[in-house]
Amino acid sequence: MPSFTQLTAEELQDLYTELDQHTPVMLYRVVLNPDGTNIYPYVSRGVEEIYGVTVAQVVSNEHNLTDFVHPDYQASFQASIAQSAQTLTTWYWEGRIVRLDGQVRWIRGTSRPRQIGAQMVWDGVLMDITESVRLQEAEREAAAQQTIIREQSQMLAELSTPLIPISAGVLVMPLIGAISDRRAQQVMETLLEGIVQYQAETVLLDITGVKTVDTAVANALIQVARAVNLIGAHLVLTGIQPRIAQTLVQLGVSLGDIVTYSTLQAGIASILAKQGGLR
Cα–Cα distance for residue pair 73/232, rounded to 1 Å: 64
Q: 91 and 9: one domain?
A: yes
Q: Does residue 123 belong to any structural domain of this protein? A: yes
Q: 42 and 102: one domain?
A: yes
pLDDT, average across residues 127-131: 93
pLDDT single digits (tens) 49-74: 999 999 999 999 999 999 999 999 99
Number of domains the chain contains: 2
Higher pLDDT, residue 17 or 25: 25
Q: 103 and 32: one domain?
A: yes
Q: What three-state secondary structure class fits 87?
A: helix
Distances (CA, A) of 23 to 33, 185, 219, 226: 29, 59, 69, 71
**pLDDT value at residue 271:** 87
**pLDDT value at residue 212:** 81
102 Cα distance to chain centroid: 30
Q: Is residue 159 over pLDDT 60?
A: no
What is the domain-level CATH number for residue 250?
3.30.750.24
Cα–Cα distance for residue pair 237/225, rounded to 1 Å: 9
Q: What three-state secondary structure class fits 69?
A: strand
Q: Is residue 128 over pLDDT 90?
A: yes
pLDDT single digits (tens) 108-119: 999 999 999 999
Q: Does residue 148 belong to any structural domain of this protein? A: no
- Helix (H) / strand (E) element for 85: namely helix 74-87
Alpha carbons within 13 A on the beta-carbon side of 24: 2
Tell if the pTM clears 0.75, that is, is over it: no
Q: 128 and 193: one domain?
A: no
Q: 187 and 120: one domain?
A: no
**By C-alpha distance, which of 217, 121, 227 is closest to 178?**
217
Q: 93 and 37: one domain?
A: yes
Q: Does residue 249 belong to any structural domain of this protein? A: yes
Q: 170 and 272: one domain?
A: yes
- Choose the weakest-confidence range: 75-79, 170-174, 183-187: 183-187
- How many other CB atoms sit within 10 Å of the CB of residue 234? 14
Q: Which residues of 57-77 are buried (b: 16+ CB within 10 A; e: fewer)?
A: bbeeeebebeebbeeebeeeb
The β-bridge relationship of strands 234-238 and 202-209 is: parallel
**pLDDT value at residue 80:** 95
The answer to whether 54 touches 48, Cβ cutoff 8 Å, is yes
pLDDT, average across residues 160-174: 84
Question: What range does the domain containing 93 cover?
Answer: 4-133
Q: Is residue 132 over pLDDT 50?
A: yes
pLDDT single digits (tens) 210-263: 878 888 888 888 899 899 999 999 999 998 888 888 888 887 877 778 889 999
Of 117, 133, 149, the one marking the end of a domain is: 133
The answer to whether 216 touches 251, Cβ cutoff 8 Å, is no
Q: 15 and 126: one domain?
A: yes
Q: Does residue 140 belong to any structural domain of this protein? A: no
Q: Is residue 278 over pLDDT 70?
A: no
Q: Does residue 149 belong to any structural domain of this protein? A: no
Cα–Cα distance for residue pair 42/57, rounded to 1 Å: 11
The answer to whether 121 touches 42, Cβ cutoff 8 Å, is no
pLDDT band at 103 (very low <50, low <70, confident <90, very high): very high
Q: Does residue 86 belong to any structural domain of this protein? A: yes
Q: Does residue 141 belong to any structural domain of this protein? A: no
What is the domain-level CATH number for residue 115?
3.30.450.20
Q: 220 and 116: one domain?
A: no
Q: 259 and 215: one domain?
A: yes
Q: Is residue 1 over pLDDT 80?
A: no
Q: 29 and 62: one domain?
A: yes
Distances (CA, A) of 187 to 154, 170, 176, 204, 258: 13, 16, 12, 12, 16
Q: Is residue 120 over pLDDT 80?
A: yes
Q: 127 and 177: one domain?
A: no
Q: Does residue 182 belong to any structural domain of this protein? A: yes
**pLDDT value at residue 90:** 96
